[in-house]
Amino acid sequence: MKGKKITALLTCAFLLATSTFSYVWAGPASGDVTGGADAGMTGGYIESKLDENAPVYEPQIDMYSTVRSSYPDTGDDAIAYLKDHYPVVRNQNPYGTCWAFSSMGLAEFGLINKGEANKSIDLSELQLAAFTYNSAADPLGGLSGDYTRYYNDKASENYLMHGGNYEMAMRRLTQWSGAASEADVPYSNASSVLQNGLDDSYAYSKDVAHLQNAYRINIKSQSDDVKKMIQLYGAVGALYTHYYNGENHIKNSYFDSSATVGAGGNHAIMIVGWDDNYSKDNFSGSTKPQSNGAWLVRNSWGSDYMGYFWMSYETKSLRDTAWVFDYDTADNYDNNYQYDGSLQTGIDQYYDQCANVYTVPQKDGVTSETLKAVSLSFMQNANVHYTVKVYTDLTDTSKPESGTLSATLDGNTEYAGYYTLPLDDKVILKPGSSYSVVLCTNGTKALECEASFSEAVNPNDLSTTTYETIASDNLKDKVSFYYGYGRYAVSAYNYRIKAFTKNNTNETPAEQKYTVTFDANGGTVSTTSKEVTAGAAYGELPTPEREGYTFSGWFTAADGGVQVSASSTVELIADQILYAHWTQNPVVEPEKTDAQKVALVKKAVESEFVKTDGSNSISQDAIKKIADAAAASTGVTDVTVTVGEFSKKDATSASEGSVSASVVITCGDVSDTVTFNKTIAKLPKTDAEKVAEAKAVVSTAIAEIEASNDLTKENVQSAINDALKNAGITDVTAQVGDFKKQAATSKADGSVKAVISLSCGTATDTVNLDKTIAKLPKTDAEKVAEAKVVVEAAISAVDATNELTQANIQKAVDDALKNAGITEPVVTVGELTITAATTADTGRAIAVISIKCNNASDSVIFDKVIAKLPAPTPSEPDKPVTPDKPVTPDKPVTPDKPVTPDKPVTPDKPENKDTGIIEYNPQISVGDMKADVSVDEKKLKDTVLNDEQKQAVEAGGKADIRLNMADASKTVTDKDKKLIASVMVTDEQLGMFLDLSVLLTVTDKDGNIITDKELIPQTSTKFSVNVKLADELLLKDSSKVRTYQVIRVHDGKPEIIPSKWDASAGVLTFETDKFSTYAVTYSDVDKETVKDQDKDPESKGDTAGQNNNVSNTNNAGVTAKPVLKTGDDNRLFLMVAIFCFAIVMVIVGVRMLVRKK
C-alpha cells in the first residue's frame, strides 16, 4: 500500500502550482437554482479554475470556415429533432448533481453520434457521484494509497448536495470508474446509497463506456470550434450562473447581463445546438443582447421545466470553457495502468520530462498483453509538442530507459485537454516484466501530477475533516520519476500518465457480428444492409445515388457524426445505421429578365431594411450603403440603387424620432421602389435627466412626510426609497445626510432638517428637508403649574377682611383664569376659615385652593392676615391711643408705596408707542412675611426677553411680563428647607421665605402668539431685588450686631448669593438671574465681639464692613428677643392681661360683697 508522508506533502507544496479548484458553494439561495413551482430541483456546481480562461488553440488553417448558421435546425424544429434522436431530458431533483447529469449526458449523446448506442441508452449519474467522492481500489492496484472520502456525518450536507464539476468527473472517468448503466445503479436509490454506501464492485466491473479524450475549448473566442464539436459529438458541457430574472418562459429562452440581479447559482448544462439568427428580442429584461444568436441548451430539471431552452451567445455568466467528452465502448481495452487516483492536480513548474514505470502482473489465462495506447493530461495548456517513448523489459526499475525502446510517438496536441494516443507500433508486454512510458514536452512546463486536498469544519482539527482527496507517497513507491540534470530522480508525486493494454490468451474469442443498415438520406441505395464482424474492417460499402448531389460518404448520424469507410474497424456493441451525406451540385440558372433582377434586389433590400433599426446616427448615405450591400448579395450586377426623399426627426429621451427614405431600384427600363420608414426609439435619459426626475419624486415624497419628534433619518430614507421604487427609478442613488432634529415641546415648535443627496453617474443634486414640528400639547402637570401661577397672582390681590367669603375668592380666581385664557384645569376654593379681626388684634383668613387636571393636581394656600379694626372713637378725640407707634409690629407695609425709585408709577404704560408694548404687571403677596418686595423693573424687562421676542416687540408686538413675588413660608417644600439648612451655620436663624416667578406672554403685531404664558426659569443677565424687611426681622438689641444672608434654591442646588443691607432704609438688596425659592436668614453677635474682631488685623469676615449684610446699631435700648415676635404672641399677651384683669375684678367684687354683708 502507498503511504502518506509529511515529506511528500511538503515537496508537493513546494513544486506544485496553485490548486486548480476555487470553490463556489451552491445552495437553494446562492447555488444552483430551484426549478419550477412544483419542483424542488437544485443544481450544485463547484466552480473549477479550468472553467475559466480556456487557452485558445489556433490552427494554421481555418478548418471550420463553412460552419452552418444553425444546428440541428431552427426554433421548435430543432428541439423536436433532439427529442426524436436522443434520450429524454433527465431530472436531477432533489440533489445538486447537475455536473454528473451533464457528464453522463455527454457520454450518451457522443455514443449515439458515433453509432455505438441509440436513444434508449441511460447511464448512471449516481454511480459517478458516489465513486467520485468515495473511491474504490482499481483492479491492477495502481491507485493503492490514493483515496477520496466524503464524511456525511461530519459535513453540513451530503455529497450529493455538496456539488462537483467537470474536472472531478473527468478525473474519475479516465480511471475507468464508470460509466455504468442506470439499470445497475439507478438514481432512485440515492437515499439508500447515501445511507449505506455503494458496494465497490460497482466501481469498475459495471462500466459500459470509457472516457477516451476530453478537451477544453474557449466558447467565447472559438465558437466555431465549439459548433464543430457539437456536430461531431452531439453536445458540449458548459457552466453558467442561473438567475431567475434571466428566464423567459414564453419564448423558452435565457439571457443575463451585468444588470441582471436576484438569486442565482452555478449550474452545469449541455449545449446541443445553435441558431445564429435567433432573435435578440426573444429574451427578457430591459437590457437586450446586442446581436441575434443563441445556443440550444439541454437541461437536467426534467422535461416540464426548461428541458431545452435557448441561451443568448452574449450571456454574461456563461463561462468561457466548453467541455468536450469523447467516449468509446468499454471493450476497447482490457487494462488501465495508472498511479494518479487523486482528484486534485498540480503542474510541475521545473521539469519537462518525466516517466512512469509499470510492472505487468501474472493473470490466469493471459499469456501476454499488448500495449495499445497511452494517455497524457495537459488540461491547462494547448498546442503542446510531446514526445512519448516506451521502454520494455527494464533491467532497473529506477532507470526508466534501462530497457528496450519499443515505440515512439511524436506530435502536437490541439486544445487543452486529456488525450488517449494509440500506438502505431505493436508492443508486447510479458507477465512479470516492467516497462516505462517516458514523456517529454520539449521545453514546455506542462507536466501534470496528482496532489492532495482536504476540507474541514476546523482546519486545525483533523477530526473535523469533511472531505479529502489524497495522493499517495511516491517517495516510498518509487514509480514516478522526473528527469533533470542528466538523470532520473524519484518524484514526490505521481505524474498523470496512463497506459492501456489488451490481454492476449490462447483462446480465440467468438466472433461478434452486427448488422449495418444503410440509410440513403434522401437518395437511393441498392444494398440496404450488410453483416460486419467486431474487430474487423467494414469492407466494401455501397455507393448511393441522388439527383443533383454528390455522395460525400457514410456517417454514423444523419447530420454530423463520424465517417465510416471500408477500412474502418468495427467497434460495435449493437447493430448500426449508417447515413449517406451529400454535397449539392452547382445549379446553372437561366439569365434573369430586368423585372426579375429588380424584384430579386427589391426582396433583398426589403429583407435588410427589416433588420435595420432606426437611429439618430442613420443618414441617407447609410441607407444607400445598406441597399447597395443587399443588391450585391444577390449577385446581380446591372441594377442601380438610388435613395431620395430622405427625412429624419431625431429621437430624444422624451420622445421617439423617425426616419424615412425612398429607395428606387432600376434595371434597364424597369424600376421599383422600396420605402425605408423606421421609428427611432427614445434615447436613454441622461444622468442629469434621471437625477432631475428623481428630484421631483423625492421632493414630493418629503412634502408628504409629517414632521414629528419620532421622525428619524431612517424613516426619511425609507420614504424616499419607497417613492423612487414606486416611480420605477432604480439607477439614481438618494442618500439622506446631515440630519438634524430639534424636538418640539409644549412651549415651542421643533424642527427637522436634512440634505438629501442625489447622484447618477456624474450628475448630482440635492433636496432640502426643512419642516416645523408643531408644539406638543401641554401636559396635565404643565396646565396645573400654569394655573397655579395665575391663582397665586389672583389671591395675592384679594384683601382679607372679616366680610371675605369663599365665593369672593372663587370669583377672583375664576376671573383671573378666564383673563389668562385658562379653561381646562378645575380650580376649587375649599372651605374658608376666618378668625375675625377686632380692634385689639388682627384676624386671619385661611382656605385651601385645589387645582386639578385629570391625574395632575396641586394646591395653593390662601392665608392672609385681617387687619385690626379701627378703634372706637375715644372720649378725648384729640388724644390718639398710640400716636407714634403701631399697636403691633404686624402692620403691613403700605402696598402702594414703591420700595425703590425705579418702580414705575404706571406699569402698564407702553415703553415705546412706535415699536410695541411691554406690559409689566407685578403681583406681590407678602402673606405673613410682613415685608415689602420689589425688583429693578427696567433691568427685568431688558433681560427677560430673548432676541426673537425683543424683535417681535420692536416690530409692533406686545410683551406681557407678569411678575409674582409671594410669601413662600406656607408652600416651601421640606426638601427645599433641608437644602437651605444645609448651607446655614450654627446660630443662624430663618427669617422669611420668598418665591419669585415670571409668566411671559409675547404676541406679534398681528396678535399671533409667539410665547404663551411661559414660566421663565432664568434671565440672560441679573436684575436687582429689594426686600424691605418687616420690623420683626430688625435688630432691637443695641448690644448686638445682626448679619443677614440670602440663600437661593434652584434646580435642587442651594446657593448663598451676595446681598447688601441698607440699615437706614431697612432694605436688603441682592442680584439674581433665576426665578426660584429664596430664604432670608440672620445671625446675631455681640457688638464687643465685633470690635475685638476689628482690632484683629487677621480677622476678615462679614463683620469687617458694615455695607455687607451688617445691621446698624441705631436700635439701642430695644431688648432683643431670642425669636421673632408674631401676632400670636401679642394675642397671648392680651389674653393673659385680660385674664389677670378678670381675676382682679373678681377679687374686688367678692370683697365688696363681703363688706356689704
pLDDT digits 0-9 by tens, 126-138: 999 999 999 999 9
Average pLDDT, the chain: 85
Report how far Cα 1000 is from the mean position of its chain's Cα atoms.
Answer: 52
Q: What is the mean pLDDT of residues 497-525?
A: 89
Report the pLDDT value the prediction gives residue 580, as an integer from 0 to 100: 96
User: Rounded to whole angstroms, how far apart are CA atoms 53 and 607?
Assistant: 39
Binned at pLDDT 50, 70 and 90, residue 986 comes out as confident
Among residues 584, 612, 633, the one where a domain terminates is: 584
pTM: 0.49
pLDDT in tens, 820-849: 999 989 999 998 999 999 999 999 999 999
The verdict on residue 960 lying in a domain is: yes
User: Rounded to whole angstroms, how far apart are CA atoms 830 and 811?
Assistant: 13
Binned at pLDDT 50, 70 and 90, residue 1135 comes out as low
| Ramachandran angles phi, psi of 89, nearest 5° | -65, 130
Question: What residue type is assigned to position 169 of the chain?
Answer: A
Looking at the fold, whether 1005 and 972 belong to one and the same domain comes out as yes
Report the pLDDT value the prediction gives residue 302, as an integer from 0 to 100: 94
**Among residues of the chain, what percentage have pLDDT more than 90?**
60
- Scan for cell 431530458, then name that residue: 89
Q: Calculate ∠ Cα 1074-1080-1081, nearest 5°.
A: 135
Binned at pLDDT 50, 70 and 90, residue 898 comes out as very low
The count of structural domains within the chain is 6
User: Rounded to whole angstroms, how far apart are CA atoms 896 and 907?
Assistant: 12
Looking at the fold, whether 903 and 1049 belong to one and the same domain comes out as yes
pLDDT in tens, 857-888: 999 999 999 998 998 765 544 444 444 444 44
Looking at the fold, whether 1152 and 1079 belong to one and the same domain comes out as no
The verdict on residue 1141 lying in a domain is: yes
The verdict on residue 669 lying in a domain is: yes
Report the pLDDT value the prediction gives residue 32, as an integer from 0 to 100: 37
Strands 763-773 and 750-760 turn out to be: antiparallel
User: Rounded to whole angstroms, how far apart are CA atoms 239 and 260?
Assistant: 17
- For 116, 544, 545, 601, 776, the CA distances from 512, given in Å and listed in that order, are 14, 27, 31, 60, 101
Q: Which of 14-18, 240-244, 572-576, 1141-1145 has the lowest mean pLDDT?
A: 14-18
Looking at the fold, whether 545 and 619 belong to one and the same domain comes out as no
Cell of residue 661, nine digits: 427614405
The verdict on residue 71 lying in a domain is: no
pLDDT in tens, 1052-1102: 899 999 999 888 888 999 999 888 899 999 998 887 766 555 555 444 444
**How many other CB atoms are there within 10 angstroms of residue 237's CB atom?**
24
The verdict on residue 396 lying in a domain is: no
Looking at the fold, whether 990 and 875 belong to one and the same domain comes out as no
Report the pLDDT value the prediction gives residue 920, as an integer from 0 to 100: 64
Looking at the fold, whether 728 and 652 belong to one and the same domain comes out as no
Looking at the fold, whether 809 and 878 belong to one and the same domain comes out as yes
User: Rounded to whole angstroms, how far apart are CA atoms 752 and 742?
Assistant: 6
- Scan for cell 378666564, then name that residue: 818
Looking at the fold, whether 735 and 854 belong to one and the same domain comes out as no
Report the pLDDT value the prediction gives residue 590, as an integer from 0 to 100: 79
The verdict on residue 1012 lying in a domain is: yes
Q: Is the backbone peptide bond immediately before 179 cis, with ω within 30 degrees of 0?
A: yes
- Asked whether the predicted pLDDT for residue 1139 surpasses 60, the reply is yes
Report how far Cα 159 is from the mean position of its chain's Cα atoms.
Answer: 31
Which contacts of 775-780 are long-range, i.e. CB under 8 A and separated by 24 or more positions?
775/744, 775/745, 775/746, 775/747, 775/748, 775/749, 775/750, 776/709, 776/744, 776/745, 776/746, 777/746, 778/746, 779/746, 779/856, 780/853, 780/854, 780/855, 780/856
Looking at the fold, whether 551 and 618 belong to one and the same domain comes out as no
Q: Which of 627-636, 912-921, 995-1004 has the lowest mean pLDDT?
A: 912-921
| Ramachandran angles phi, psi of 709, nearest 5° | -65, -25
Looking at the fold, whether 604 and 704 belong to one and the same domain comes out as no
Among residues 584, 611, 633, the one where a domain terminates is: 584
- Asked whether the predicted pLDDT for residue 257 surpasses 70, the reply is yes
Residues 6+ apart with CB under 8 A from 673: 662, 663, 664, 665
Report the pLDDT value the prediction gives residue 386, as an integer from 0 to 100: 98
Q: For residue 1148, what are the domain limits?
A: 1128-1157
The verdict on residue 875 lying in a domain is: yes
CATH number at residue 576: 2.60.40.4270
Looking at the fold, whether 1008 and 1080 belong to one and the same domain comes out as yes
CATH number at residue 769: 3.30.1300
Among residues 558, 584, 610, the one where a domain terminates is: 584
The verdict on residue 372 lying in a domain is: no
Binned at pLDDT 50, 70 and 90, residue 1032 comes out as confident
Report how far Cα 988 is from the mean position of its chain's Cα atoms.
Answer: 70
pLDDT in tens, 390-426: 999 999 999 999 999 999 999 999 999 999 999 988 8
Strands 487-490 and 321-329 turn out to be: unpaired
User: Rounded to whole angstroms, how far apart are CA atoms 129 and 116?
Assistant: 24
- For 543, 552, 582, 584, 738, the CA distances from 546, given in Å and listed in that order, are 10, 11, 8, 9, 84
Q: SS3 letters for 507-569? A: CCCCCCEEEEEEECCCCECCCCEEEEECCCECCCCCCCECCCEEEEEEECCCCCCCEECCCCE
- Asked whether the predicted pLDDT for residue 319 surpasses 90, the reply is yes
Q: Is the backbone peptide bond immediately before 94 cis, with ω within 30 degrees of 0?
A: yes
Cell of residue 1100, nine digits: 476678615
- Scan for cell 435557448, then name that residue: 310
Looking at the fold, whether 937 and 1081 belong to one and the same domain comes out as yes
